[in-house]
Structure 1
Amino acid sequence: MTKNTCDKDTNCQSCSSAATCSAEEKERHAQQLIDATLKNIRHTFMVLSGKGGVGKSSVSVNLAATLAQQGKSVGILDADIHGPNIPKMLGIADRRPCAAMGPVDGILPIEADCNLRVMSIGFFLNKEEDAIIWRGPMKHGLMKQFLGEVHWGSLDYLIIDLPPGTGDEALSIAHLIKKVDGAVIVTTPQDVALLDSKKSISFCRELKIPRIGVIENMSGMLCPHCRKEINLFKVGGGEQIAKKMKVPFL
């Protein structure tokens, strides 16, 4: 007979009874741990893009840092398994997470600031050039661990930096959290980036994730001499996409 719930607050790997549980029971227990974690997090937001290199991680870091400076308790989950850049961008790439001490197993996130906690696969790499060569089930397993076994504590905001596209990581996060509070879509003015950003918006719509809006990044630069803005590419594409897809332009 299948058990409905498991009353243990440890992960299955450290449980002496794990061998007697079915895969379905283990999956259900992992979701229990995630749900318990999410009870202490007021808001969860996804930052995603259809194409790489548009500055998505920069937006995630700046958003999290701004909220932390305002006195909010913030976490950043770096869900970009194949390109975990958040530790490097925050200057904490040399740090290593510790196991939680106490009755509940888990991992402590890295404290980048008094109000900013971070978790990334990048902290676990022996060398920064090491590649993560995983298929979908491995990625899904890591997302479960990052959400259910990391001791995030009480947070006002959890910012989830997703990899480009609408693949395994984005789908896993959306299904595991069940009710994401909102998503920010980052694009640049190039036609290819704009095309892919529409796919990200459609992804959110299909999964009923509220679309906070579209950010058009890298549209220009400030001249170091006269401080005048110089357009690097054509501008306004992000706003046009936002209007067409009925999403706010930020």
Structure 2
Amino acid sequence: MFYDINSALQEQLLHLPETGMGYQVFTGFQEGDYVQRKFVALNAKLAFRAVNENDFIFLRHQPLLERIEIIAARSPYLNLTNISNIHILQEANKVGYANERSTAKTGAIHQRREFTDGTETFVRLSAYQNDRRIDKVNNCLLPGSFTTTIDDYLLCKSRGLNPVSRYALPNDETIKWAFYIMPTKADPLQRGIVEPANGHIGGGKEIYFENGTSKNTFLKETVY
């Protein structure tokens, strides 16, 4: 079932880390419920409740032909008892990949922190032009956000690879936008390889910015 994410919950989600590029898997208590439920949030606007593992497969194949704002507008609000207690799951759902490779800790969150020389560009891919992890007031990336490298992005484009599969995203909505980020020397990051998740093999390069990036590091957005 889909839910609209109200402004209070949206603000809370945007202060919490992503599970992967463009989405968050989190748990919380719905009003009147005594069991924690698992949800997938897309662009901190549309939530989907996952009752069991097969629901992740449903979400992956659910055709989102309309803008998520339209779907959210006709969906009930997601009312949680205490939004300050929601918990982000930083291990993506790995249904369909219960093999040796799926247990390898190749993801960026498991890697050491490092810094760039201040000239390296990274790219965040999104189905949404109003990607809410891009702070267009301060022109930066919000803390806890993912990108890929510009080389991996260009490889994906030049070889006609499916970015949804390469970055193991939870639904098959078409990637339409690319956001370019050039962090400063002071912005820590972690480099990794996308692990199999959400019914996808992964394998793309992913970069995790636990602290986000400094002001004026968002360069531009282009059509994918």
Q: TM-score, normalised by structure 1?
A: 0.31
> Is the strand fraction higher in 1 or 2?
2
Which one has a bigger Cα radius of gyration? 1
Q: TM-score, normalised by structure 2?
A: 0.33
